[in-house]
Amino acid sequence: MQKRCLQFCLMMMIYISIAEAPHRNRLLIFLAESDVAIGYVQATVGKAKADIAWLIGTQWQGTRYASEAATALTSWLVTCHVGDIGAHIHPKHIASQLVAKAAGLHNSGHIEDSEEVWLK
């Protein structure tokens, strides 16, 4: 797949508590040619694992932007030495399953809260 020119803007949203709540990192996705925000990818990072998620505006769904952004996020987490990377996906949400596959995740066969657990 040919890479598209996307710009990522990192917004750290840190929740501080006595229990050391996880850090939530949200990357906004902008189209470089128009500087329009089209969605985000997110990683909630704990001590040794990260749960990732993505959201793309309906106008830009089906363009592989989510796959590209989720792959970039996963690669970034790997370089940060995050041990386990996962996502929770509804069993009938084929588009999100395709995004997870593109990001290098696989269906673990486990179900949590009615969603499939995908792992890298």
Asked if 85 and 50 touch (Cβ cutoff 8 Å), the reply is yes
Residue 44's closest CA among 76, 86, 79, 7? 86
Per-residue pLDDT of the chain (120 residues; tens, 9 = 90+): 334 433 333 332 222 222 344 577 777 788 877 878 889 888 888 877 899 999 999 999 999 999 989 998 898 888 878 889 999 999 999 999 999 999 999 999 999 999 999 999
Global pTM value:
0.80
Q: Locate the domains of the chain by residue range.
A: 6-119
Pick the CATH number of 6-119 from 3.40.50.1370, 3.40.630.30, 3.30.200.20, 3.90.230.10: 3.40.630.30
| Contact residues for 44 (Cβ-Cβ < 8 A; gap 6+) | 22, 23, 24, 25, 50, 51, 52, 53
